[in-house]
Structure 1
């Protein structure tokens, strides 16, 4: 009888609530694909999905399902690295509240988009106003205006307003820049995508563009943010000031040198380095 009741509560197709309030059909493929991208084998990902599905019911929130996935992973043997990598989106969300850390992080990974960062948070005089530009990137001897839009909450879209605002600044400084780019840590609205495509503005965000989105570049090149190590706010500020925003950067130096650079104890740095090795070089 319990099995029959469970089937009634969780049919093959049912709906859940997203962080933005939308009611959407539960998509088990997202859990499977995210586990695999985070480093799980297909066999392990399917086993995790099976356990998660046994606890999911209609009208749950996506955040509750996310917590179930993390708990199931933590209950699996020798999957500590997967547990950390699965939290990529949350790790980026922890770069607030001001967003300066996110700007520094994007500056650290732009080379993987073939851009060289030449200036960070610069004031540039336009025809009608002075603008503070998050990043100025160089590609093929041309300069590009790069804006970083950071949100600390799930379900918040980067929308048409941000796209319009960036384009207005670009026009006011024309012909200083050859192009305009927006990086954001959340999804981007369809209106913003359509407008950006029309004016030639590039956007890199969560899940967009499909083949070159922010999370795919991070996962492909192991560019996980340093916040994946569960830093305190003070530690994040220190690493951001030192321009050490990618977790694997901690393996470039020994703990004594990093401790001297940051003022963080050697013991704490050593523990961080051990965790980085587990994440990127699991045994």
Structure 2
């Protein structure tokens, strides 16, 4: 393989093709070694100078979908599946709330209006743990190549300080108050620097090294229903409209699967894919 082939990232930047990055992404999705080697050979046959990362991932997904292990496509396409929760950011907020609840946070609420010292603020997610009060901004992007930039951190911090001022004026006795940014994309370096300086938490795609968004979803099996390649997009949107966001929600309510206007073999495929995601 000629390592000098440059590919185009979603941001428009160019970088050399990396077999190691492809292998890492495949292994992370739990794809077995025997299929991994086949995928690498397949994609390297398709490479050409200037190929986009989105085209590379499309080739990988299509190859996995046609293989003897088609359900691995669901876990491999996690990042794309999260973006497909939009255009509204509300399903992403529900995903974040579910993750926090599983991590021991209590009184987790979404879409809360809090009065600040100056104005009122709509808070995406509010959570409590031990003596800590957390105000969480869920920054959702539904297009590849976008990053959460420092303007978001500045905006979140300003709102947090206004609410904190009101709480202190009311004699609030919580020992800890903290602003928290949750995003489904990567963050700019300035976001990380500003957050560290201001004592804010950040959970993003690939950040921090431990308990980043991808890791939280995979370790807790909090896969969104948009991961399911066997489920038609029309039904995904219908379920999201009913606040059914997680594959585990679909698993818990078998009547939802039975109500799908698809054939019995297609329903069986959906159930098989659900079992793979939640039990693998």
- Tell me the TM-score range normalised by the shorter chain: 0.7 to 0.9
Cα displacement string for residues 113-156 of structure 1 (whole angstroms, at most 9, x for unaligned residues): 44235321011110111100001011114321011001110000
Q: Report the counterpart of residue 54 of structure 1 in structure 2.
A: 45
Distance across 1 between alignment mates of 2:220 and 2:275: 15
2:142 matches 1:143: no
2:196 matches 1:197: yes
Distance across 2 between alignment mates of 1:279 and 1:32: 20
Q: Report the counterpart of residue 206 of structure 1 in structure 2.
A: 205
Deviation at 1:186, TM superposition (A): 0.8
The normalised TM-score by structure 2 is 0.86
Q: Report the counterpart of residue 171 of structure 2 in structure 1.
A: none
2:127 matches 1:128: no
Distance across 2 between alignment mates of 1:204 and 1:87: 20
Q: Report the counterpart of residue 23 of structure 1 in structure 2.
A: 14
What do you get for the CA RMSD once the two structures are aligned?
2.5
Runs of 4 or more, structure 1, over 6 Å off, are 266-269
Deviation at 1:270, TM superposition (A): 4.4
The normalised TM-score by structure 1 is 0.85
Which 10-residue stretch deviates more, 128-137 or 141-150?
A: 141-150
Distance across 2 between alignment mates of 1:115 and 1:196: 21
Matched residue count? 268
CA contact (8 A) 2:97 2:109 kept: no
Q: How does 1:178-197 map to 2 (within 5 A)?
A: 178-197=177-196
Q: How does 1:78-157 map to 2 (within 5 A)?
A: 79-157=69-147
Distance across 2 between alignment mates of 1:117 and 1:98: 23
Unmatched 5+ stretches in structure 2: 168-175
Alpha-carbon spacing, 1:27–1:259, altered in 2? closer, same or farther (3 Å): closer
Distance across 2 between alignment mates of 1:240 and 1:138: 26
CA contact (8 A) 1:110 1:117 kept: no
Cα displacement string for residues 180-228 of structure 1 (whole angstroms, at most 9, x for unaligned residues): 1111111111111111111111111111112211111111222111111
Q: Report SS of the residue matched to 1:34.
A: helix
